[in-house]
Amino acid sequence: MQFLIEKSGFRNDINGLRAWAVISVVLFHFLVPGFSGGFVGVDIFFVISGFLMTGIITQGLVEQKFSFSRFYLARAVRIVPALVVLVLSLLVWAWFYLPTPDYQGLAGHARYALVFWSNVEFASADSYFAANSHENWLLHTWSLSVEWQFYILFPLLLVLIAKFTNARLHVLFYSLIALVVLSLSYSIWLSPREPTAAFYLLSTRAWEMAAGGVAYFVYVSNWRRVVERPLTLYTGWLLLGLSFTTLNSDLSWPGAWALLPVVGTVLVLLANQSQSILTKPRLFQWLGDRSYSIYLWHWPFAVWLYYIGQLGNPWYLAVGIAVSILAGHLSYWWVEQPVRRSFKELSGRLRFVAVMVPLVMVLAMSLVIRNVVFDGRMPTEVERIAAEAENRNPRGDACRQSMSELHEPCIYGGERLGAIVIGDSHAAALVRSVEAALPNDGLHVLDWTMSACPTIRNLRHSQRHSSRFLCPEFVDYAIEQSSQLPPEVPLLVVNRISNYLHGEPQKQEPEIYLSEPAATYTVERAQELISGFKDTVCTFAQHRPVYVLEPVAEMPVDVPEFMSRKLHFNGEIERVSISISEYEQRHKLALEAMHELTVECNVKLLAPTAVLCDEENCWGDKDGLPVYFDDDHLNERGGRLLLTEFRKMFSDASSDESADGNEE
C-alpha cells in the first residue's frame, strides 16, 4: 500500500454531505415524520471531521511543519466565535423570558458549552432522547465538546506515533485502524449497559472520527482508484438513506448500529464524486457552507416550540425550521465570514486574544447568572411558582447514599432517635417533613435513603457493575442496623415503587431485577419484585413498627416549570393533575401489595392521596403553588401537607403505650 500525501482542495461533495447531515439533525429535532434516524447527522459530521483533521495533521507531519498552536488556533477561530454569539444571545434573550430556575439552568449549561465540557456533564444526566431533553437550550453543544476534545488529543496521538516511527505512514494508518477497533468495541460493550454515557463520551465516539482518518489514508493511497467510482457512492448513500429513515432512538447508540451511517459516510468520502446530484446542486452547497451555524441555532428554536407547547404543530414546525435556517445564514454572514476575513490580517497572538477575550467575558457572565438571583426580572407570581422547583430538602443531595460509596447516614433534629426514613429519592424528599412531625425537638430522624434504590433485598442491576450498584449492600446494612436500634422507633418506607414495576414511556427496558434480567416490563417480573419488597419490609417489621407511604401521584409534566411557563406565556395559571382512575391504574399492584403487608406483618399505611387528591383528581398544586419540585417528587410544601399522616406514626406509639399501661 503506497501513500501520496498532497494538499487537497475544496471538495463540494464533502460540503454537500454536510448539508445532508445538518438537515437530517434539524428534521429529527423538530420531530418531522420520516426522519426517525436523523440524529445520525452528528455521526456524519464526526466522520468528516476525522477525515479532514487527519489530512491537515498528516500533511504537516510529512512536510515537517506541523504546529500545535496553529492547529488549535485554526480550530478555535472556526468554532468559538459563532458559539460565543449563540450563548450570549440566549443569555440576553432569556433575561426577559425565562423564570429564574430556567435562567440559571441555562447559564449553568452555558459554562460547560463554552469550555467544551458539555458532553461529560450530560453523560450523567438524562438521556439525549428523553422527552425533557427539549428543556436544555444547549444540549446540542455536546457534539462540539466531543469534537474539541478530539481536536486536542488526536494531533498529540499522531505526532507521538510519528515521532517514534520516523513518520511512517503505514504505522499511522494501522494505528488508526486499531483505534477504530478499540473504541468501537468499547462502544458496543457500553451502549446497552450505560446508554447515556455511551452516547455522549469521546471514548465511545472516537472510532467514528478515527474511521474518517482511515478513509483519508485510503483516499491518498494507491487503493484510491479501486474505490473512487459511482458504485461506492451509491452504496454509501444507500446506507445513509437507511440510517435517516429506519434507525430510531430505541436503539443502543452508538453501538454496532452506528456502523451504518459511519460506513456510509466513509464510502461517500472515498467515492469522491464531485458531480453527484445529491451534493453538487447550489442548494446543498449553500446549506453545507452554513451547516455549522444552522446546527448551532436550530436547537434553541426547537426548545422554544417545546416550551410553548407547539413542537407537534405542523405550522409552527415549518416556521421553526425556516427561522433556524435564516438564523444560521445570518450567523454565517455576520459572524463566521467576517471573522475569517478579518483574522487573516492578524498575527497568531492577536488571533488568540481576539478569540479568548469574548469567550472569557461570556463565560464570566454565565457564572454570575448561575450564582446570583436577580429579583424583579419576571412577574412576582411567575417567580413564586417557578421557585417551588428549588423548594426541596437542602441536604438531600449530600445525605442520600451514593451508588459507588456508602457514607455515614445523616440525622435531622435533636440528640435522640425518633424515627427512621428508608427508601429512594422520594423518601429523601420527605425526610424534613418527617422531622417536622416529630413529637418534640429532642428527637431526630435517621436518613437511610439512596436514589434509584427501592427497599428490596438482593436487587441487581443489568447495566451496572456490582461495584457501581451498592443498593443491595445498603439495604442489607439497613436491615442489620435496624435489628440493633431501639425497637420502639418507627420506620417509614417510601419508594416510587410503581416506576420499578412498570417503568416510564421513554424507558422500555427494565434495569433492575432479582433472579434474571428482563427485556420488558412483564407481569412476572413485577410480581417477583413485589414479593421481594414485601419480604424486605416484613423483615424490618420484625424489629420495630413499620409504616409504608402509599405511592405519591406522578404528574404528566414538571409541575413548577409547566405552571410558571403557562402563566408567563399565556397569562393564566393552568393546573396539573391526573385522575383518580389513572392513579389507581398506575399503582394497582403496589397498592395491593401494601395492603397485603398490613395483614402479613402488621405494617401500617399512610395515604398521601388523603391530602393531595379529591374525589376525582390528584393535583400538582395547592392554592396555586406547586407541591412538586418536578413531575413526581414532592417539594417541601407538598411534604408539609403530609404532616397529619406522618404524625400518625407517633400518635400510634403513644396509643400503644397507653394501652400497655391500662393492661398493667
Q: 314-354, pLDDT tens digit by residue?
A: 999 999 999 999 999 999 999 999 998 888 888 888 989 99
pTM for this entry? 0.81
**pLDDT tens sequence across 443-495:** 999 999 999 999 999 999 876 665 578 999 999 999 999 999 999 999 999 99
Residue 392 confidence (pLDDT) above 50: yes
Do 290 and 168 fall into the same domain? yes
Q: Give the whole-angstrom CA distance, residue 47 versus residue 68.
A: 21
- 632, part of any domain: no
Please provide the average confidence, as pLDDT, over all residues in the chain: 90
Domain that includes residue 451, residue range: 396-554+579-612+638-656
Mean pLDDT, rounded, for 71-90: 95
- 110, part of any domain: yes
Reported as a pLDDT band with limits 50, 70 and 90, residue 662 is: very low
Q: What is the pLDDT of residue 505?
A: 52
Do 335 and 458 fall into the same domain? no
Residue 591: CATH number of its domain = 3.40.50.1110
**pLDDT tens sequence across 249-286:** 878 888 899 999 999 999 999 999 888 999 999 999 99
465, exposed or middle or buried, with CB in 10 Å at 0-12, 13-18, 19+?
exposed
Residue 534 confidence (pLDDT) above 50: yes
Do 324 and 464 fall into the same domain? no
Reported as a pLDDT band with limits 50, 70 and 90, residue 416 is: very high
For cell 500525501, the residue is 5
Do 54 and 155 fall into the same domain? yes
Mean pLDDT, rounded, for 144-149: 96
Domain end among 337, 371, 405: 371
Q: Give the whole-angstrom CA distance, residue 518 versus residue 516.
A: 6
Reported as a pLDDT band with limits 50, 70 and 90, residue 74 is: very high
Do 400 and 339 fall into the same domain? no
Name the DSSP letter for residue 32.
Answer: -
The secondary element (H helix, E strand) that includes residue 577 is strand 577-579
Residue 132 confidence (pLDDT) above 80: no
Contact at 8 Å (CB) between 257 and 247?
yes
The secondary element (H helix, E strand) that includes residue 28 is helix 12-29
Do 67 and 150 fall into the same domain? yes
- 619, part of any domain: no
460, exposed or middle or buried, with CB in 10 Å at 0-12, 13-18, 19+?
middle
Domain end among 336, 371, 406: 371
- 425, part of any domain: yes
Do 361 and 407 fall into the same domain? no
By percentage, how much of the chain surpasses pLDDT 70? 95
- 44, part of any domain: yes
Q: Give the whole-angstrom CA distance, residue 530 versus residue 572.
A: 42
Q: Which residues contact 377 (CB under 8 A, 6 or more apart)?
A: 95, 96, 100, 103, 383
Do 404 and 511 fall into the same domain? yes
- 244, part of any domain: yes
- 626, part of any domain: no
24, exposed or middle or buried, with CB in 10 Å at 0-12, 13-18, 19+?
buried
Mean pLDDT, rounded, for 620-646: 95
Q: Give the whole-angstrom CA distance, residue 188 versus residue 191.
A: 6
Do 59 and 174 fall into the same domain? yes
Do 341 and 471 fall into the same domain? no
Do 471 and 339 fall into the same domain? no
Q: How many domains does the chain have?
A: 2
Q: What is the pLDDT of residue 663?
A: 44
Phi then psi dihedrals of residue 254, to 5 deg: -100, 75
- 571, part of any domain: no
> CA Rg, the chain, in Å?
29
Domain end among 371, 405, 425: 371
Do 338 and 434 fall into the same domain? no
